């Protein structure tokens, strides 16, 4: 009996190895309404492509071969309500096999302050001629925002366009001349007029012209739906269609358009929604 038991034990199969799993990390650790998000994914098998979808937005992933990590940029709009939103990932192996992964991502609520400002009356109660200019500008921006670069042109971390203190933050509800006019969808840097302004990352100049509210304005298309906007410039140093590198001078700061004084307004727009530029500048993006 003992011999039989020992023989049976020797024939038993070895325990199966634990199955490799997907690994997902993201920045920032606390995602709020208005926050850009950098997803970083490690896949147990070698794949040739990875795509994703989160909050009805398509995410394009790039591969960092040195770290064997896929990363993609996304974001939650200011209007996003607190909750858990599923991230759906789909990968393709070299043989054409599909791999999928799904995980809920929590978005928390961020309360933003309200401030009161005084500006020239033409910016809160424009006359008929000024309204025509405003409508023309809206169409110019709408047309430009339709023609976006599909390929990624940004590389590595995003850098601040100027070295200066922040004078106004993202998400502030702005009351102009006693009337609630807008939500501040960018980041203001306290710089004197004439300060050189540089591109936060590589891309193509989508707009470089004078607009009614924005003043002298530069918009850079970084690819994959990501734009950065630089408002109230005193001078433009680029033209539409130019390719620019990270850190390249694109203009000089000023106080043109609807501004209470000289400063630089930086905005970040991803797939039609505005995101907090301060968070974008803090992301630890791979150099690839």
Question: Which residues are bridge partners to 173 per DSSP?
Answer: 114, 183
Q: Is the dihedral of CA 32, 246, 263, 271 positive or negative?
A: negative
Look at the chain and count its residues: 288
Q: Contacts by 62-70 with C-beta closer than 8 Å and gap 24+?
A: 62/152, 62/288, 63/288, 64/286, 64/288, 65/288, 66/288, 67/286, 68/42, 69/40, 69/41, 69/42, 69/286, 70/40, 70/41, 70/42, 70/43
Looking at residue 254, the DSSP 8-state letter turns out to be B
Cβ proximity of 190 and 232 under 8 Å = no
Q: Which of 184, 222, 232, 263 is catalytic?
A: 263
Distances (CA, A) of 30 to 59, 184, 223, 271: 19, 21, 25, 21
Cα-flanking dihedrals φ and ψ of residue 153, to 5°?
Answer: -110, -10
263 noted as active-site residue: yes
3-class DSSP assignment, residue 128: helix
Rounded to whole angstroms, the Cα distance separating 50 from 243 reads 27
Cβ proximity of 177 and 121 under 8 Å = yes
The residues that are catalytic are 263
């Amino acid at each position: 009996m003992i011999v039989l038991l020992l023989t049976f034990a020797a024939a038993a199969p070895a325990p199966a190895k634990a199955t490799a799993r997907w690994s997902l990390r993201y920045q920032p650790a606390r995602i709020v309404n208005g926050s850009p998000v950098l997803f970083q994914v490690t896949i147990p098998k070698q794949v040739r492509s990875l795509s994703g979808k989160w909050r009805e937005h398509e995410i394009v992933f790039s591969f960092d071969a040195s770290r064997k990590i896929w990363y993609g940029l996304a974001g939650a709009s200011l209007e996003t309500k607190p909750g858990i939103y599923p991230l759906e990932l789909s990968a393709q192996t070299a043989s054409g096999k599909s791999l999928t992964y799904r995980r809920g991502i929590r978005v928390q609520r961020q309360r933003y302050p309200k401030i009161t400002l005084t500006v020239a009356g033409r910016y809160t109660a424009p006359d008929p001629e000024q309204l025509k200019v405003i409508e023309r500008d809206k169409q110019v921006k709408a047309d430009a925002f339709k023609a976006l670069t599909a390929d990624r042109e940004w590389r590595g971390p995003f850098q601040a366009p100027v070295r200066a203190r922040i004078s106004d933050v993202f998400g502030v509800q702005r009351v102009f001349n006693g009337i609630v006019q807008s939500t501040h969808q960018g980041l203001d840097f306290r710089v004197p007029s004439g300060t050189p302004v540089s591109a936060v990352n590589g891309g193509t100049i989508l707009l470089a012209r004078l607009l009614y509210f924005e003043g002298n304005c530069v918009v850079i298309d970084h690819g994959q739906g990501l734009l950065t906007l630089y408002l109230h410039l005193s001078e433009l140093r680029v033209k539409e269609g130019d390719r620019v590198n990270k850190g390249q001078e694109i203009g000089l700061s000023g106080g043109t358009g609807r501004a209470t004084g000289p400063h630089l307004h930086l905005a970040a727009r991803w797939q039609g929604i505005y995101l907090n530029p301060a968070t974008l500048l803090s992301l630890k993006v791979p150099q690839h």
